[in-house]
Amino acid sequence: MTLSTARPGLADSSTPPKVTYRVRRGKGRYTLTVLAFLLPSAIPLTLFVLGPMVAAAWISLQKWNLLAPMSFVGFDNYAKLLTDTTTRDVFLHTVYYIAGYLPLVYIGGLALALALNAALKGRAFLRGIYFLPVVTSWIVVALVWRWLLNPSNGIVNSTLAVFGIDGPGWWTDPVWAMPSIIIASAWKDLGFVMVILLAGLQAINPDMYEAAKIDGAGWWRRLVSVTLPLLSPSTFFVFVISLINGFQVFDQVYAMTGGGPNGASEVVVQQIYDLTFRYGAAGEASALSWILFIVILAITLIQVRGQKRWVNYE
Amino acid sequence: MNSRMTGRALAGWILLHVVIVAGAIAMFFPFLWTVITSISPGVGLTVTPALIPENPSLDAYARLFAERPFGRVILNSFGLALVTTVVQLITSSTAAYAFSRLPFRGRGIVFAVYLATMMIPLQVLIVPLFVELKTFGLLNTYLGALLPTFASAFGIFLVRQAINQVPRDLDEAATLDGASHFRIFFSVIIPNIRPALATLTIFAFMGSWNSFLWPLVVLRKPELQTLPIALAGLQGQYTTEWDIIMAGSVVSILPMLALYIFAQKYVIQGVASSGIK
* Residues in chain A closer than 8 A to B231 (CB atoms): 137, 139-140, 143, 255
Tell me the average pLDDT across A159-165: 88
Highest mean pLDDT among A170-179, B34-43, B80-89, B260-269: B80-89
* Residues in chain A closer than 8 A to B31 (CB atoms): 132, 144
Per-residue pLDDT at A211:
85
Per-residue pLDDT at A314:
60
Could you tell me the pLDDT band of residue B44, with boundaries at 50, 70 and 90?
Answer: low
Per-residue pLDDT at B69:
85
* Of A97-111, A231-245, B86-100, minimum mean pLDDT range: A231-245
Q: Between chains, do A251 and B213 touch, taking CB under 8 Å as contact?
A: yes
| Phi/psi at A178 (5° precision) | -65, -45
Q: Between chains, do A137 and B30 touch, taking CB under 8 Å as contact?
A: no
Give the gap in angstroms from C-alpha A59 to the nearest C-alpha of chain B.
8
Q: Between chains, do A296 and B121 touch, taking CB under 8 Å as contact?
A: yes
- Closest C-alpha to B174, from B164, B163, B165, B186: B186
Could you tell me the pLDDT band of residue B276, with boundaries at 50, 70 and 90?
Answer: very low
Could you tell me the pLDDT band of residue B39, with boundaries at 50, 70 and 90?
Answer: confident
Q: List, as ranges, residues 129-168 from B with C-beta within 8 Å of A.
A: 129-132, 147-148, 150-151, 153, 156, 161, 164, 168
Could you tell me the pLDDT band of residue A246, with boundaries at 50, 70 and 90?
Answer: very high
In a domain, residue A276? The reply is yes
* pLDDT of B257 strictly over 60: yes
B224: DSSP letter: G
Q: Which domain holds residue A290?
A: 76-309
In a domain, residue A243? The reply is yes
Please count the CA atoms within 13 angstroms of the CA of B210 that sit on its side-chain side.
23
* pLDDT of B211 strictly over 60: yes
* pLDDT of B1 strictly over 50: no
In a domain, residue A63? The reply is no
Q: Is the dihedral of CA B178, B181, B187, B188 positive or negative?
A: positive
d(CA B274, CA B277): 6
- Closest C-alpha to A119, from A107, A127, A109: A127
User: Could you tell me the CA-to-CA distances from A154 to A160, A179, B67, B76, B90 in Å, in that order?
Assistant: 10, 16, 25, 32, 46
In a domain, residue A303? The reply is yes
Give Cα A5 to chain centroid, integer Å. Answer: 19
* pLDDT of B241 strictly over 90: no
* pLDDT of A10 strictly over 70: no
Q: Between chains, do B48 and A155 touch, taking CB under 8 Å as contact?
A: yes
Number of A/B CB contacts below 8 angstroms equals: 325
In a domain, residue A50? The reply is no
Work out the mean pLDDT of chain A and round it to a whole number.
85
d(CA B243, CA B58): 10
d(CA B111, CA B96): 10
* Residues in chain B closer than 8 A to A248 (CB atoms): 121-123
The widest CA-to-CA distance across chain A, in whole angstroms, is 84
Domain locations in chain B?
66-274
User: Could you tell me the CA-to-CA distances from A269 to A222, A289, B142 in Å, in that order?
Assistant: 42, 8, 24
Could you tell me the pLDDT band of residue B40, with boundaries at 50, 70 and 90?
Answer: confident
The widest CA-to-CA distance across chain B, in whole angstroms, is 76
d(CA B203, CA B48): 36
* pLDDT of A25 strictly over 70: no
Tell me the average pLDDT across A97-106: 96
Q: Between chains, do B210 and A137 touch, taking CB under 8 Å as contact?
A: yes
What is the DSSP code string of B173-210?
A: HHHHTT--HHHHIIIIIHHH-HHHHHHHHHHHHHHHHH
What is the DSSP code string of chain A?
A: -HHHHHSTTTS---PPPSS--STTTTHHHHHHHHHHHHHHHHHHHIIIIIHHHHHHHHHTTEE--SSSPPEE-TTHHHHHHHH-HHHHHHHHHHHHHHHHHHHHHHHHHHHHHHHHHH--SSHHHHHHHHHGGGGS-HHHHHHHHHHHT-TTT-HHHHHHHHTT-----GGGSHHHHHHHHHHHHHHHHHHHHHHHHHHHHHTS-HHHHHHHHHTT--HHHHIIIIIHHHHHHHHHHHHHHHHHHHHT--HHHHHHTTT-STTTT--HHHHHHHHHHTS--HHHHHHHHHHHHHHHHHHHHHHHHHHHHH----
* pLDDT of A153 strictly over 60: yes
Could you tell me the pLDDT band of residue A33, with boundaries at 50, 70 and 90?
Answer: very high
Minimum Cα–Cα distance from A246: chain B residue? B121
Could you tell me the pLDDT band of residue A6, with boundaries at 50, 70 and 90?
Answer: very low
In a domain, residue A264? The reply is yes
Per-residue pLDDT at A167:
85
Q: List, as ranges, residues 218-277 from B with C-beta within 8 Å of A.
A: 227-229, 231-232, 234-235, 242, 245-246, 248-249, 252-253, 256-257, 259-261, 264, 267-268, 271-277
- pLDDT (tens digit per residue) in B119-144: 787 878 888 999 999 999 999 999 99
Give Cα A249 to chain centroid, integer Å. Answer: 8
Q: List, as ranges, residues 231-270 from A with C-beta within 8 Å of B.
A: 233-234, 237-238, 244, 247-248, 250-251, 254-255, 269
Higher pLDDT, A309 or B110: B110
pLDDT > 70 in chain A, percent: 91
Highest mean pLDDT among A233-237, A267-271, B273-277: A267-271
Q: What is the CATH number for A247?
A: 1.10.3720.10
In a domain, residue A113? The reply is yes
* Of B29-38, B46-55, B266-275, minimum mean pLDDT range: B266-275
Tell me the average pLDDT across B158-168: 89
Per-residue pLDDT at A20:
52
In a domain, residue A52? The reply is no
Q: A192 — contact with chain B (CB < 8 Å)? A: yes
- pLDDT (tens digit per residue) in B175-187: 888 889 999 999 9
Per-residue pLDDT at A5:
37
* pLDDT of B97 strictly over 50: yes
Q: Between chains, do B98 and A196 touch, taking CB under 8 Å as contact?
A: no
Could you tell me the pLDDT band of residue B83, with boundaries at 50, 70 and 90?
Answer: very high
Per-residue pLDDT at B17:
84
CATH match for B66-274 among 3.40.50.2300, 3.40.50.720, 3.40.50.300, 1.10.3720.10: 1.10.3720.10
Residue A108: which residues within 8 A CB-CB, separation 6 or more?
A186, A190, A193, A194, B23
Overall number of domains in chain A: 1
Work out the mean pLDDT of chain B and round it to a whole number.
87
Could you tell me the pLDDT band of residue A74, with boundaries at 50, 70 and 90?
Answer: confident
| Phi/psi at A134 (5° precision) | -65, -35
Q: B178 — contact with chain A (CB < 8 Å)? A: no
Which ipTM value was assigned to this complex? 0.85
* pLDDT of A157 strictly over 50: yes
Could you tell me the pLDDT band of residue A1, with boundaries at 50, 70 and 90?
Answer: very low
Tell me the average pLDDT across B99-109: 93
Higher pLDDT, B220 or B274: B220
